[in-house]
Amino acid sequence: MFSDFIKHYSIIRDILRDCFLYGCFSKDDLESKRNISSRKVSYEMRRIQQYVEEKYIKVDKDGRYKLLNLTYDFMRHTDNFLVSTYMTKSFTRTDLLTYFFILLYIQSQNRPCSLSEIEDGLAQEDIYPLTKLAVRLLKESFRKCAQALES
C-alpha cells in the first residue's frame, strides 16, 4: 500500500540526484541503476511528484517509457525543491499525531509542563495510548523538538 510519507530518504535522494544532475531517467533505468524493485521505484517517484512542485517536474515520453526530468533555474526561483524534500523526510504519521497530542495536552493545562507531566497526563486522560514504544516515541519527539529549537 502506498504511503506518501518519506521515512527513509536515501533512495529518494539517489533518484533526485540522478534525475536532476544527469537528466531524464525511465523507471526501468532507475531499477537497473539502483538495483531496486519496480514497485519501490514507482512509489518513490510518486512521493517525489507529491513533494516537488509541478513547475520543477517534466515528464517526457520515449516510446513506451515515461522519463522523469527535474529542472531548476536558480535565477528565477529562490526556493530549492531539493531542500524541501529533505526537510519533509523525517515526519511519519506517528510523529505528527504525537506532536498534536502533546500540543493538545499542553494547551489544556495552560502552563508549562515537564516531560513526565505530559506522559502522565496523556496516560490518565486516555488521549494517547502510552505503551513502552509510545513512551520512547514521545521522548524521541521531545529530543527532536529540543534540537530544532537549539539550531
pLDDT of the residue at 132: 59
59-76 tens-digit pLDDT: 888 888 877 777 777 777
Mean pLDDT of 116-120: 79
pLDDT recorded at residue 131:
61
- Residues 102 and 109: their CA atoms lie apart, in Å, by 11
Instruction: State in Å, rounded, how far the first CA of the chain is from the last one.
Output: 36
Sequence ranges of the domains in the chain: 10-87, 93-150
The reported pLDDT for the residue numbered 14 is 83
Rounded CA-CA distance 10/70 in Å is 18
pLDDT over 60 (residue 2)? no
Q: What is the mean pLDDT of residues 124-149?
A: 68
Q: Between residues 150 and 111, which one has the greater pLDDT?
A: 111
**pLDDT number for residue 134:** 66
pLDDT for residue 3: 65
pLDDT digits over 20-65, tens only?
Answer: 777 767 788 888 887 888 888 888 888 877 777 777 788 888 888 8
Selected residue with higher pLDDT from 80 and 16? 16
pLDDT tens-digit series, residues 68-111: 777 777 777 777 777 767 666 656 666 677 778 888 888 889 88
Distance CA 20, CA 144 (A): 30
In the chain, count of helices (H) and strands (E)?
A: 7, 3
4 or 8: whose pLDDT is higher?
8
Q: What is the pLDDT of residue 61?
A: 83
Classify domain 10-87 by CATH number: 1.10.10.10
